[in-house]
Amino acid sequence: MKIENPNPIQWQFSQRAEQLQSSAIREILKITMRPEIISFAGGLPSPQTFPVERMREAYDAVLSRAGKVALQYGPSDGYAPLREWIADSLSTSDCPIVPEQVLMLSGSQQGLDLLGKVLIDEGSKILVETPSYLGALQAFSVYRPEFVSVATDDDGLVPEALDAVGQGARLLYSLPNFQNPTGRSMTLARRIALVEACARLRVPLIEDDPYGALSYNGEPLPKLLNMNPSGVVYMGSFSKVLTPGIRLGYAVAPVPLARKMEQAKQATDLHTAQLTQMVVHEVVKDGFLTEHIPTIRKLYAAQCQSMLDALQEFFPAGASWTRPQGGMFIWVTLPKHINSMELLEAAVAQNVAFVPGAPFYANTPEPNTLRLSFVTVPPEQIRIGVEKLGKLIAARM
Amino acid sequence: MKIENPNPIQWQFSQRAEQLQSSAIREILKITMRPEIISFAGGLPSPQTFPVERMREAYDAVLSRAGKVALQYGPSDGYAPLREWIADSLSTSDCPIVPEQVLMLSGSQQGLDLLGKVLIDEGSKILVETPSYLGALQAFSVYRPEFVSVATDDDGLVPEALDAVGQGARLLYSLPNFQNPTGRSMTLARRIALVEACARLRVPLIEDDPYGALSYNGEPLPKLLNMNPSGVVYMGSFSKVLTPGIRLGYAVAPVPLARKMEQAKQATDLHTAQLTQMVVHEVVKDGFLTEHIPTIRKLYAAQCQSMLDALQEFFPAGASWTRPQGGMFIWVTLPKHINSMELLEAAVAQNVAFVPGAPFYANTPEPNTLRLSFVTVPPEQIRIGVEKLGKLIAARM
């Protein structure tokens, strides 16, 4: 039934599609899936933390009790009881959050795409941390903004730096807790100053918070959302506290923006899977996360300490690194003449992998940086991998 | 911890966000969720057809056997065994489809968004049927194309109409089987002529096929995909043959486009839920759909006949309607002076609902048209609802 000798199509992609490239991280992940590789490259949570049995029970319960509802189309803004649970869990005494602010997403990454879709025109100025989450840079870059990198130091984004560059920006994108890629967190004073600066400049502030619950000492700092709910969009995720493979996240936004994002969501994929939302509500509604999250914190804190110990032992003077109080990542800065992309090639030849730092910069890359993830590698393997990296770096000093 | 008297944000939405409005269909659905309403407005499949127990068993099996894999992040292109199953199921003797062409999606609606993202620039010409699927018009309109409506008749799109308008179009969007909203299908001769015309004009042809399996006589016509796999993008869905609430669909595209769409997918939501894909593979791999789909066809054929009988009995001369051989919809054309939006208001006052036809037109609406869905309403209710509509129409003749 095939037609004969059709003209070949010369694919003409949109201008925005030319911004798209395969993520460096995911391309490297493909290489480093080989079992003999000690990979510090992943951004994956540890599967040890997945409550598989609890999830299995919840799928069973929801499908037994309400299968026909769970398997039908659902509302674009999400499953109402889960939106209520999220609003409650984010409310503070002086800052109630209402379900109307909550939009359920197919992973919080989708929220970044929707924000780009509804807030960014070609050439719009948007502000990002230096460095920032690669997935956000990719999501936003499709909409062809002008990225402006804001200065950061060991306490995260420097609010004073905003005055010079913030005027007229469409948004500022920030990860205040255990940032990906650096593992850094903002101090309380910084948070207040940041929220005040954005309010003064009338710049919408995006608070991306996949790791906030993973504070090793169990005491998270106040959310930017609760400091100015009319000016902050909060992005939350179940990927790091429950499981990522179900793809479930949420945005909490001022109502006019939440409605516009809901319209964009509807045009994009109608709604997030109803069954997934009902199952997660079933899992979390009676306080499961209160018991579960401390077990993740404990595991990740021990893994982090193993890597910090190994770095101390094996990395040469001249290399420096962050000392995260939570989350999944350590950020290493090497002497300026060492290029971490070249280092990666040498490391992979010795069966060790990490992510070079350059792709995390929106503007001027610092090629002497790299990101290490410690959560999925056993401590003895962390030691071996860091020792090998240390020798490769020492040889380049 | 709230800051005091923050400046209010004046939300400045992107130009493309101004294209976004809440779907007329979904807004009407909200009204017509009241139990006393006889609603022909839905686009929802009948929950009677959902294999709830089979799904429950599959979630149980996958989570018991491979829970940690199913709950982890997965590849952006999708779960390989399911992509293979899809490629096999779409292959014909003279047209093999390979897994590299298959991209898994969070519902086939997402494929429309990704196609818009990678193929449409502002002002790009794209061709659509008259009328066409509202969700596609919404997905594409975000990217601000110039829509050109191509003539259709009772056999669907008229290929000869392409010569005058096709040159330089970025894509043609078609639903050859039991089209939403009209229920029309293209004849074999039309299909061949359409594929040949698009190949001659070098216009990529999008074949959206959510209803193709729901042919009442069980004999689907050849897919456009298999007539020219290098020029056709096929969009498939599990929503109408299995269940929509899990959000699972797929695109089958020529490899260069499939890779570009994969990159866009990665930036948009990383990947489609791994668990969902593994469960659907578990359900379909041993031929379940071969037994299951005929039960859906039988139900929908009977429902359709009930509505056709009622239309014949109760609608006045001067109204005409399509006689679908499959799918979920009947399209009604009233005399030109009757506006179906005004009719809807009168109908809802009598507890009957449908979808007015105007939003399905990309260019010049025909306000005297409307869409009736028959699959979720019991036959006796169909009769009552159609009788009420018939009287309202007769009163306006």
| CB of B148 closer than 8 Å to CB of B128 | yes
Half-sphere exposure of B11 (CA within 13 A, CB side): 21
Q: How far is CA A258 from CA A99, A230, A233, A251, in A?
A: 10, 11, 9, 8
Chain B residues whose CB is inside 8 A of the A10 CB are 202
Q: How far apart are the C-alpha atoms of A271 and A165, rounded to whole Å?
A: 36
CB < 8 Å from B in window 181-210 of A: 192, 195-196, 199-200, 202, 204
Residue B42: what pLDDT?
Answer: 85
Q: Please state, as a whole number, how many other Cβ atoms lie within 10 Å of the Cβ of residue B5.
A: 7
- Considering CB atoms only, which of B71, B120, B273 is closest to A50? B71
What's the rounded mean pLDDT across residues A98-104? 98
Exposed / middle / buried, residue B90 (Cβ in 10 Å: 0-12, 13-18, 19+): buried
Q: Do B264 and A143 touch (CB under 8 A)?
A: no
The answer to whether B213 and B230 are in contact (CB under 8 A) is no
Whole-number Å distance between alpha carbons of A296 and A304: 12
pLDDT for residue B27 = 67
> Among 3.30.565.10, 3.40.640.10, 3.20.20.60, 3.40.50.720, what is the CATH number of A73-287?
3.40.640.10
Which residues, including other chains, have CB under 8 Å from residue A96's CB and lie 6 or more apart?
Answer: A87
A16-51+290-394 in CATH: which number? 3.90.1150.10
Residues 6 or more apart whose CB falls under 8 angstroms from that of B380 comprise none
| Nearest CA-CA distance, residue A366 and chain B, Å | 23
Q: Cβ contact (<8 Å) for A3 and B192?
A: yes
Residues in chain B: 397
CATH fold for domain B18-49+290-394:
Aspartate Aminotransferase, domain 1 (3.90.1150)
B93 CB within 8 Å of a chain A CB: no
Residue A35: CB atoms within 10 A of its CB come to 6
Under an 8 A CB cutoff, do B139 and A267 touch?
yes
Question: Are A44 and A59 spatial neighbours (Cβ–Cβ below 8 Å)?
Answer: no
Decide if B44 and A73 are in contact by the 8 Å CB cutoff.
yes
pLDDT tens string A213-266: 999 998 889 999 999 999 999 999 999 999 999 999 999 999 999 999 999 999
Chain B within 8 Å of A170 (Cβ-Cβ)? yes
Q: Which is it for the CA torsion B269, B64, B55, A276, positive or negative?
A: negative
> Model confidence over A59-81: pLDDT tens digits?
999 999 999 999 999 999 999 99
For A33-48, what is the mean pLDDT? 90
Give the residue among A43, A24, A47, A35 at the shortest CA–CA distance from A381.
A35
Chain B (279-308) residues lying within 8 Å, Cβ to Cβ, of chain A? none
Average predicted confidence (pLDDT) for chain B: 95
Beta carbons of A6 and B107 less than 8 Å apart? no
Cα separation of A30 and A8, whole Å? 31
Q: Alpha-carbon distance B63 to B278, whole Å? A: 9
ipTM of the complex: 0.95
User: pLDDT of A276-323, one tens digit each?
Assistant: 999 999 999 999 999 999 999 999 999 999 999 999 999 999 999 999
- H or E stretch including B185? none
Name the residue in chain B with its Cα closest to that of A17. Answer: B118
Instruction: Enumerate the H helices of B225-328 as residue ranges.
Output: 255-269, 274-284, 288-314
Are B117 and A17 a contacting pair at CB < 8 A? yes
**Cβ of B9 under 8 Å from any chain A Cβ?**
yes
Residue identified by tokens 């997402």 is: B110
pLDDT, tens digit (0-9, with 9 covering 90-100), for B292-319: 999 999 999 999 999 999 999 999 999 9
Q: Where are the beta strands (DSSP E) in A6-131?
A: 38-39, 102-105, 125-129
Q: Does any CB of chain B come closer than 8 Å to the CB of residue A344?
A: no
Q: Are B138 and A95 inside 8 Å of each other by CB? A: no
Query: What does the alpha-carbon distance between residue A149 and residue A137 come to, in Å, rounded to a whole number?
Result: 11
Which of B343, B370, B374, B344 has its CA nearest to residue B357? Answer: B370
Which of B7, B74, B276 faces A200 most closely, judged by CB atoms? B7
B169 band by pLDDT with thresholds 50, 70 and 90: very high
A317 contacts chain B (CB < 8 A): no
Per-residue burial over A351-387, b = 16 or more CB atoms within 10 Å of its CB, e = otherwise = bbbbbbbbbbbbeeeebbbbbbbbbbbeeeebbbbbe
Q: What was the pLDDT predicted at A289? A: 97
Residue A54 tokens, joined: 């609890």
Tens digits of residue pLDDT in B140-154: 999 999 999 999 999
pLDDT at position B247 is 97
Using the predicted structure, report yes or no on whether residue B234 has a pLDDT greater than 90: yes
Query: Given an 8 Å threshold on Cβ–Cβ distance, is B110 in contact with A269?
Result: yes
pLDDT of residue A20 exceeding 90, the answer is: no
What the block records as the tokens of A41 is 């490259």
User: Burial level of B75, CB count in 10 A (0-12/13-18/19+)?
Assistant: buried
User: Which of A62, A72, A167 should one mutate to test binding to chain B, selecting the residue with the greatest count of B CBs within 10 A?
Assistant: A72
Q: Which of B63, B200, B227 sits opposite A55 (nearest CB)?
A: B63
Residue B170 and residue B337: Cα distance in Å, rounded?
36
Q: Interior CA angle at B247 toward B209 and B84, to 5°?
A: 65
Residues 6+ apart with CB under 8 A from A265: A76, A77, A103, A105, A110, A114, A271
Q: Which of A32, A101, A106 to mutate to test binding with chain B, by most B CBs within 10 Å of its CB? A: A106
Q: How far apart are CA B219 and CA A96, in angstroms?
A: 57
Q: What gap in Å lies between CA B268 and CA B270, rounded to an integer?
A: 6
Domain B73-286 has what CATH class?
alpha beta
What is the pLDDT, as a whole number, of residue A10? 87
Domains of chain B by residue range? 18-49+290-394, 73-286
B189-212 tens-digit pLDDT: 999 999 999 999 999 999 999 999
Percent of chain A exceeding pLDDT 90 equals 91
- By C-alpha distance, which of A375, A389, A370, A374 is closest to A134? A370
Could you tell me if B275 lies within 8 Å of chain A, comparing CB atoms? yes
Which of A11, A202, A228 is nearest residue B3 as measured by Cβ atoms?
A228
Beta carbons within 10 angstroms of residue A256's beta carbon: 13
